[in-house]
Structure 1
Amino acid sequence: MAESASNLVQAAAAPGELPEKATPKPQSNPFGRKRNEIPTAEELLANINRQLPFSDEAEKGVISSILQDPNERLSESRVTLPAAAFYHEANRTVYEKLLEFYDKNLPVDPVMLTNALRDQNLLERVGGPAAITELFTFVPVPTHYSYYKKIVLDKHILRQMIHACSLNIDAAYEFGKTELDADINTLIDHSEQRVLAVREATNGKSDGVKSLASHVAEAIDNIQYMLEHPGQLRGLSTGYSKLDSMSGGLQGSEMFVIAARPSMGKTSLAMNLVEHVAVDCDKPCAVFSLEMSATMLVRRLLVSRAQLSLGDLSRGLMSRAQMEALSKATRELQKATILIDDTPGLDVLEMRAKARRMKKQHDIQMIMIDYLQLMTSSSRRAQDNRQIEIAEISAGIKGIAKELNVPIIVLAQLNRSVEGRKGQRPVLSDLRESGSIEQDADMVGLLTREDYAGGKMEVGTEEEEERKKGQALLILAKNRNGPTDDVPLRFIDYAMRFVERFPEEGEAESP
């Protein structure tokens, strides 16, 4: 390397003269600062009107490659290269017209392109017939198309980043000037969403389509694993053997809705599932609690784990054995990874951003949301129609489950129609406010208790009341990948804990 550099210097020197020692020129920058010095915010803002990054040559190279080989290039470009990636309007107009030709299955050549642009009064906008001819001959061969496309996409991503950061700067300056800007954490979440949206768009450039052969290979691998591990769950254990046998465990990318009327114990059942996965299975979990505070949820976890009475704990009435049980539960929960976010009125996009961070930082394996109807959607379509809002929230939760490949347990409310039904047995149509919840969910469990059906204590004989005390059913009304049936449970009310109920413990289950 030293000899090469020396030869180059000598070659540049005049004949008969000794080359002077080369001194590197300082690289120019818009601030007149040293290379490694970071510009101040004032200097950045002073140069905010700098030209956006683009490459006219790369854009023309892409279009020229397409024009020379349209059959090969257009099918790929249609999926992986959006028209917005072209900075110059003339290039973007030509590219959009090429995509239109592809969609209509029309032949692509300079004559057809020129004629179509002239008919729509767009020819002069792109520079006239000479510009089209120049595009066709701009590159000698189209083999470097992929390199040109990468340059165009990279410049497009840089412009998106600049736009997102500019919006974040403007939002930060304007924060606090209206009554709606009460929470700075919301500002941070929205700022993060804008940047993450650029990442999402970047990852979404590939069509993500796999051949049937690859899917078959994955399916065979799954079947082979099940044959080699008979009886082993494919997903996370719920802690309830019958539910595990019907579902195969909680699977990644699945949405499990647990719905019930108020005060049936939805939160208790969901937290029992979270506790089992996080403590007994040692898998990190995330909990989004829109109804209860994190302090109350942790208190419930401790009481349920130690099987103590919350009433006795509130009054400070505990024996030595109960204190030891509480101490043991505390140690076990401290070792577990349960991340609790108790932000009220959480927007589905904010939850998505937070779940992404939790997945990246803690590799969470399950998410629980309490509960769906308390979430919000900030889209314009959802502002005036509650059913559209619930549908967007439900679809957003399912999208998070697929993106992060984790099961999501979602609590939901049932409407009052169940209370007027004979036997008060809930059905899928009782899901409140939107049928989209039923459509998006992979599993739907309807929770009911015989001693608290319809939200009020049922009055019967003393023997019947004793038999019904604590009896509960989780009606698995929908199971996309398995059978549906009732899961008998027993509710320990003082400890807010659901345990399995076996046939010998009570009467035959209701049909």
Structure 2
Amino acid sequence: MAENSTPTATSDTPPKSGAEPAKKRENFKKRNEVPSAEELLASFNRALPFSDEAEKGVLSCLLQDPLERLSDCRVNLPALAFYHDANRTVYEKLLEFYDKNLPVDPVTLTHALREQNLLDKVGGAAAISELFAFVPIPSHFPYYKKIVLDKHILRELIHASSLNIHHSYEHGKEQMDENIDTLIDHAEQRILAVRESVGAKEGIKTLSTHVMDAIDSIQYMLEHPGQLRGLSTGYSKLDAMSSGLQGGEMFVIAARPSMGKTSFAMNVVEHIAVDCNIPCAVFSLEMSATMLVRRLLVSRARLSMQDLSRGLLSRAQQDALAKATRDLQKAHIFIDETPGLDIMEMRAKSRRLKKQHGIQMIMIDYLQLVTSQSRRAKDNRQIEIAEISAGIKGLAKELNVPIIVLAQLNRAVESRKGQRPVLSDLRESGSIEQDADMVGLLTRSDYAGAKMEVEDEEAEEKKKGEAMLILAKNRNGPTDDVLLRFIDHAMRFVERFEEPESP
């Protein structure tokens, strides 16, 4: 065959013009059906969405009235929103003028572009003069800006979708270590990132708006004296000090291993989800969902895990277990047991649960098992923990839900006299203490080396199970000790009240 002959079209050969894709699009429009993957791929031979007129309209309004509009655009209109390089170059130069507090008009703009050899790139001095007179009514600026932003968002969405298609085709070739679930999570992150960029354009609220919000919250407290503003934990003293778990707050519960962190946190989750009928999410990176639910059943029914494991339950205990099962089946507790979960994947899953099921509380067990895939975090564990902690706090604010995070304490507490933990015992990073709104340090007096000296068996029995949650940090309230008692066989913490001293 001659070299200049026309090749025969194959299934792998892209269409040479827009006629064939247009015809296929028209076909599936007429059928009123969802297009197939082949039809969609064939229709990709199209220009990205943009509006040159709207872009020029925005630039014209900025040239005619730069003082107010440039300050608004600096926050709400990124340079990438301009599709054409010429328009983007002019816009970037206008922002540069604004940042340097220089006067903006066609003359100064033309001079600056000429000095930097950019004037020919934007179409010459005539193009700048044309921009200035392009819009006869500058008051239509918000409408032009919205068109530019909408087209930018559509291009970002197309870009994210194209990446998802590319990675789907390349799955199993270049990324052999990535499983299909991770691929789906990353695809969702790209789409959600576009949504986040849309929500970020709301701008900064004025002080008067915040004052009215604060007055509304104060008015509610005055009208409902003594009522919790947040979610009840099930422990009265903790509720009194915190006013309940507040939306947007991060509550760190830290302890040495086997002190009962998971049991305490799940007691709180159980109270919120079962007794208060509020949806909750649990990210269990250490324990399987089956084991976690088994512990919930044992705790709810006040049974012995050892008796249950051996199958030695009385009739009354079996009835209690059946009732606990019915209670938990009605509760909206969503458990994710993915080990080594990445903080970005966790945020994506949490957003989905918030949107689909309206979760109002999240528990993470535990912080040191969460990972971060950023480059900065790869070689430095402290930076990784700092990024994870900041990510969790950001998630709490974004979803406006309280997040309970379990964390480990270092071994320094075991060598301290009395073994009372302090904030500096938080393991691996001080950023946890910094990001947290509340920090509770859990300790048990009868655990390991923390046993207290007692004079007789009666006193020893009385001290058995004594525990304490030391509220070492409370950003919006007092700090104090919450006295608890740990029911070992049922893995449950209950409140303990000090007995009045006999006269």
**TM-score normalised by length of structure 1:** 0.90
Q: Which residue does 2:74 correspond to in 1?
A: 78
SS in 2 for 1:444: strand
Map Cα deviations across residues 85-136 of structure 1 (whole Å, 9 max, x no partner).
Answer: 0111111111011111111111101111111112222222212212111111
Which of 110, 113, 131 is matched with 2:109 structurally?
Answer: 113
Instruction: State the AA in 1 paired with 2:282.
Output: V
Structure-2 residue corresponding to 1:317: 312
* Structure 1 residues 229 and 171, CA gap change in structure 2 (3 angstroms): same
**2:435 matches 1:440:** yes
DSSP 3-state at the match of 2:201: coil
Query: Is 1:202 equivalent to 2:206 in the alignment?
Result: no
How far apart are the structure 1 equivalents of 2:253 and 2:369? 15
Structure 2 partner of 1:308: 303
> Which moves more between the two structures, 67-76 or 220-229?
220-229
Match runs of 1:72-471 below 5 Å: 72-178=68-174, 180-207=176-203, 209-452=204-447, 462-463=456-457, 465-471=460-466
Task: Give 3-state SS (helix, strand or coil) of 1:447's partner.
Answer: strand
**How many angstroms does 1:477 deviate by?**
0.3
1:167: Cα distance to partner?
Answer: 0.6
Question: Take 1:67 and 1:182, find their aligned partners in 2: how far apart are those partners?
Answer: 50
Distance 1:231 1:460 in 2: 40
CA distance in structure 1 between the partners assigned to 2:138 and 2:52 by the alignment:
17
Aligned residues of 2:28 and 2:35 also touching (Cα < 8 A): no
Q: Secondary structure at the residue paired with 1:33?
A: helix
Assess if the C-alpha contact under 8 Å between 2:263 and 2:491 holds in 1.
yes
Aligned residue pairs, count: 479
Relative to 1, partners in 2 of residues 1:451 and 1:506: Cα closer, same or farther, differing over 3 Å?
farther
Q: Which amino acid aligns with 2:494?
A: V
Structure 1 position 162, deviation (Å): 0.6
Task: Give the superposition deviation at 1:214.
Answer: 2.1
The share of aligned pairs that are identical, in percent, is: 77
Residues in 2 aligned to 1:349 and 1:486: alpha-carbon distance in whole angstroms: 35
| One-letter amino acid matched to 2:221 | M
Task: State the distance in 1 between where 2:362 and 2:500 align.
Answer: 32
Distance, in Å, in 1 between the alignment partners of 2:206 and 2:198 is 22
The answer on whether the counterparts of 1:382 and 1:389 sit within 8 Å (CA) in structure 2 is yes
Aligned residue for 2:441, secondary structure, equals: strand
Aligned with 2:375: secondary structure? coil
Structure 1, 129-138 or 232-241: larger mean CA deviation: 129-138
Task: Note the C-alpha offset of 1:379.
Answer: 1.5
Instruction: Please report how far the alpha carbon of residue 46 of structure 1 lies from its aligned counterpart in structure 2 after TM superposition.
Output: 2.9
| Post-superposition offset of 1:45 | 2.0
Check the 8 A contact 1:452/1:458 in 2, yes or no: no
1:451 is paired with a residue whose SS is coil
Which stretch has the larger CA shift, 225-234 or 263-272?
A: 225-234
SS of the residue aligned with 2:248? coil
Cα distance per residue 1:2-31 (max 9 Å; x no partner)? xxxxxxxxxxxxxxxxxxxxxxxxx96564
Instruction: Provide the alpha-carbon RMSD of the alignment.
Output: 1.8
Paired with 1:417 and 1:234, the residues of 2 have a C-alpha distance of 36
Structure 2: where are the runs of 5+ without partners?
A: 1-20
**Alignment check: 8 A CA contact 1:257 1:412 kept:** yes
Gaps of 5+ in 1: 1-26
Give the match's secondary structure for 2:372.
coil
Retained in 1: the 8 A contact 2:257–2:408?
A: yes
Go from structure 1 to structure 2 and tell me whether the alpha carbon gap of 1:373 and 1:228 turns closer, same or farther (over 3 Å shift): same
Matched-pair contact (CA < 8 Å) for 1:365–1:406:
yes
Q: Secondary structure of 1:381's partner? A: helix
Q: Which runs of 4+ in 1 moved over 3 A?
A: 27-32, 178-182, 456-465
Counterpart-to-counterpart distance in 2, 1:305 and 1:220: 40
- Judge conservation of contact 1:473–1:487 (CA < 8 Å) in 2: yes
